[in-house]
Structure formats: C-alpha cells, structure tokens
Chain A
Amino acid sequence: MFEQLVDGIFWNIALIVFFVGVTWRLITVLVLRSKRIDYSVARNSGVSGAIMANIRGFYPRKEVSGRIRLQVIAGYMFHLGFFVVLFFAAPHVKFIAQNITGFTYMTIPYWGFIVASEIAFAGLILLWLHRLLNPVTRLISKRSDHIATILVFVVMLTGCMALGEASSELRVLHRFSVELLMVYFPFSALMHAFMFIPSRAFTGVLLGRRGVNV
C-alpha cells in the first residue's frame, strides 16, 4: 500500500509541487517584481556584467580565499559529489530514462558511485559541522537550513542503502525521502540551486554597468 502511494500519488504530488513551486518562485523574481528601471547612464554593459558575475561566483576571490577555505572545499565536495550521483548513478539514469527522457546515457561504475557519494557525504557533514560550530554560521543559520541539510542527508543515506536494490523497502524509503525533499525544496533555502543565477545577475548588472569587475 505505502509502496503504491510512494510510487504513485505521492510522486505525482511531489513532482507538481516541485515544478510549480520552483517555476512560481522564479516567475516572481523575473517577472512579477522586476519593475525597476536603472535611470543612470551605463558605463559598460550590464548584460556582460550579469554573465561575468555568474561565472565569477564559482571561484572565491583571492583576498578572502584563505579565510573561507573550509566552506569552499567542503562546498565543492558536496555539490560535485551530489550532482555526479544524482545524474550519473546507474539507477538514477535508468529512472530518468524511464520517467522523463526516454533514453539512457553514460553512467558511473559502482566504485565511482561509492567515491562520489563519500565525497558528497564528507562535504555535507563538514558544512553542517561548520554551520553548528562556527560562531558566525551558528548565529545566522535558520531552522530551514538545518531541515534542508537533514533532508539531503537522509536522501543520500537512503540512496546508498538502496543501491544494491536488494530490498524494495529501502528503494521505497529512498524515493519517499526524495519526495519529501522535492516538496520542501521550493519553499526553502534549497531554492538557491536556481536563485543564485538571477541573484548573481542582478548584482552583475548593477556593477557591470558601473564598470566594476564583479
């Protein structure tokens, strides 16, 4: 019964909430509340500023890199490991082919999955420890940051447990945790996965027009 719900109605609800929620949030930013015109006379192109800001944001400025080493390294470990597993783990590729694209593509070998997921776990745990132990992040973190971290952790853990596909219960558990994450996603800090693009672009346009290297 629970398995049917998870594979059926729960999945459909999660998909709808995720896509409608994310789309609505993006539309809110890009259309509904974007009425502002910049009346100052631009020195340089705002568009190139937006593009540069989106690229520039992927690596830290040398002036602060020594002070934020842990966040940068752990951040990259988690994100890279997570995306490799999400998009290239064999069960995921099979699932995407069956439910979305209709075709399969390159998958990582089993050992690659283990390495990528361990890197992602290590990154996530380091980031979480930093969030809990560092006075700055401890002060500024919100409940939603912790909920998001826990949900992602659970998704990754249940995914690893279900990897061997030895038990249907483990697969259902993993899929259910993914559905919870998908429902929570549009209303949480997880939205940064999409919002960082307009966020960097807004600042890039502002500074780019002024002739400042973002």
Chain B
Amino acid sequence: MSTPLERGVDMLKSQVDARVESYFSSCTHCGVCAEACLFYTETDDPRYTPIYKTEPLRKVWQQNFTLWGKLSTSLGLSKPMTENDLSDWETLVYDGCSMCSRCTMVCPVGIDIAYLIRKVKEGMAAAGFVPEGLQGASERALKFGSPMGLTSKGLLSAVGQQKKEHDIDIPVDVVGAEYLVMLSSNEVVLYTEFLTAISKIFSAAGITWTVSSKYFEATNTGVQMGDSVIAAQLLERLLEVATELKIKTVVSPECGHAYTTFRWDGPNILGRELPFNVVHIMELLDQLRKDGKLKTTGSFDERLTYHDPCNISRRGGVLEQPRNLLNQVAPNFVEMNDKKEMNWCCGGGGGVSSNERAEPLRLQVFNVKKRQLDELDVTTMVTACSNCRTMLEEGLEENEMDIEVVSITELIADHLA
C-alpha cells in the first residue's frame, strides 16, 4: 500500500510529457508571468508567481527526468519531495490560481503555465491534498450528479416552476432533438431566468432542443480539482445521455469551464473524439443571428461592458460572438481596457469559487476588476458564465459598487422581436 506522498509523486511523474519537458527546459525564471497574474499583482506576494506554483511538478521532473537531477538525487544533493512540500503548495494551486491562463499569454518562451498547474493538481488530488469544498463538491457530483447536490427531481421541479410562471416550453428527455442543453446548477437554482431565456429564444428560432433529466450538470468538478478519473466518469455520463437521446450537438451553457471541458479538454480526458458537436450558447446564438433566426427589437440603452470569462475567451476562442450579440442590442456597449484573450479573471475560476477557504483572497484580487470598472463608469456588466456572474456580484457587493450583472442570453431574450 503506497503512502499519499508516493501516490502524489507517482502521479506527478506520470504527468511528465513532451510539453512539460519543453516548458521546464525553456523556463529562464524571468518572472514575467507574475505580472499577468491577478493573485500576484493584487497581493504583491511573490509566492503567487504562476511558475512558482508549478514547483512540485518541476521538482519531480528535474529529479527524475534530467541528467543533473538524477545525479544530484543519487548523490543525496537534492532534497526529495516531502508531504510538507505538497501541503504547502495546496493553497497556492487551489486558492491562489484560478487557472485563467493569462500568464500563458505573456510568457516569453510560450509556457502554458495553466497546463502545468493542471498537472500539479493531478498530483495533489492523488496525494489527497484537495480543499474540503472541492472535495465535497466532487463527492456530490458523483453521488447526485451535481456539485450542489441538485438531483433530477430538483431539475424537474425547477423546470415545472419556470413553465408555470412564464408559460414556456422546456423540453425534457426528447429523443432526436437537435440540441441537448446542459446546465450548471447555478442556472437551475440561482439564475433560473437562463432557462426561461433559452426557451424563448429557441422557440422563436424554431429549433428543437431538450434538457436531460438523467444528467444535466455541465460543471465538471473532476477537472476543477485535477482528478482525471472523476472528470472522465462525469464526461461518460454526458456521453451516455447524449447517445440515448440521439443528440448531434451539445450546448454548453453560460459556464466557462464546462465549455472548455466539453469542447476542448473532454475528448483528451476520455482519449477519443466525442460523437457529437459541442457549441457554447454564445456560438449558437450568434449562428442563429447570422442565419436570420434570431431577430431582436429595441435596445438596452444603459452604459454596459462585457466581462470575458477566461475559459470561454482565452481558453475557448469564443471572442467575437458575444460582442456581435451585444452590438445588436446595446448601443452603449464599451470595452474594458484589457479584454478578449487578455481579460482579467473574476478570481473564482479553476474551482476557487467552490473553495470557501479562498474567499478572502478571491475578494482581494477582485480589486483588479474594480479598477477596470471604475475606469468605465458603467451601470451594467454582461457576462457569459454563471460562475463569473456569482463572483462578480459578490465582488461588487463587497466593494459597494452599484453595477448590475446580467447574462447575455437573458439580455438577448429580453429583446426578442
């Protein structure tokens, strides 16, 4: 029976691939990545330097995959990894990194630091160094199907309530529908307007769609905590319902990491191509707009800005679609200074939002968003990720800022022709 440390180290060793090799071999420790990280810029604590957060993986790579490393380890000149090392790094990678990958964009030698941190998390998860909040969310996701513990009954209840209140159609478990819409628990429990909005839009566009009562959850806690086994188990559930319902296209809701997981990382976690297409709700709405199936009327005249969710823009490549949609209904749309692939994170990505321990730090690093908003003097901020939305609302409340946060889908639905 191996110890947690051995499991962690073995997992880290298994994570070393060509990319890890080239990344660590090319790092000159120039420190540029720190200047792009909100956890460093807002705290001035050098421990939050992104490349520093990858130290456990670098150490394992250096000691086991390099000539000098092997030599110095065998001569006892290099200290082996200890449980304390992993324990010390737990807060750095889970509390002090939202996996926003802004650091990746500025690295002079092109290191995808977020990729390395994701691998560090694999080692942490194998060794059992995962924050309680994330661990709990993951257990609930496996047991009930949702990190918030929301069951199929809960979904059906929310669907029934929305139908009754708004006199709309929300198809459930429809075999052969064009689109399967996944939802984050946030959108079922907190932002129920989202369901109403997509129902109105899809009905107006004349497309067939459904939600699945068997498995509706878009959030993948396995990805957030860095456990590929759990991530794969949750993805298999999606594959199962999509196959049962004969779905050709899965729609990722307003959830950043769900989109990246389904669209980009999921096939690689599973090790095979997905048997359906994946689109983000912004992509679908923009396509409907282009096809003339999404027509709007009137305008939202308040001065507003758009917050790019990192996983949708920087890691997902959905950059222009939300802007196309906003330009259709919001004449006073203004951009933040750093936007699109260089946006600043809300602070709650990568599982930070599920990690209660990280809350004070998360609210501290929100200062960067506050400064961005102060420059613009807007009354409304629009976004396309429900997790960002919650984080932004909490940050705004903490800073007593009178700015409303709105979902793009809801904004569009409010202006349907």
Contacts and interface: CB of A to CB of B under 8 A. Distances in A.
Interface string B115-134: 10000000000000000000
A196 to B, nearest CB: 4
A210 B18 contact: no
A109 interface: no
Contacts of A34: 17-18
B315 A40 contact: no
A53 B264 contact: no
Contacts of B319: 211-212
A7 B110 CA distance: 38
A142 B105 CA distance: 23
Nearest to B108: A57
Contacts of A203: 104, 107, 110-112, 115
Given A36-B18, A61-B105, A68 B32 contact: yes
Interface string A22-39: 000100111011111011
Nearest to A36: B17
A145 B35 contact: no
Nearest to B66: A187
Contacts of A36: 17-19, 268
Contacts of B66: 187
Interface residues on B, range: 35 or more
Contacts of A67: 35, 41
B242 to A, nearest CB: 15
Contact of A41 (B25, B110, B273): B273
Nearest to A201: B110
A192 B31 contact: no
Given A68-B35, A210-B316, A136 B49 contact: yes
B35 A39 contact: no
Contact of B25 (A35, A135, A192): A192
B22 interface: yes
Contact of A214 (B26, B105, B263): B105
A202 B268 contact: no
20 contacts: A29-B18, A32-B18, A33-B17, A35-B17, A39-B271, A40-B267, A57-B107, A75-B30, A137-B30, A140-B31, A144-B68, A145-B29, A189-B28, A195-B26, A199-B22, A199-B25, A199-B111, A200-B110, A206-B112, A212-B313
Given A29-B18, A63-B342, A199-B26, 13 more contacts: A28-B21, A33-B18, A39-B273, A40-B267, A43-B317, A53-B110, A64-B32, A196-B109, A199-B25, A203-B111, A207-B104, A207-B317, A214-B105
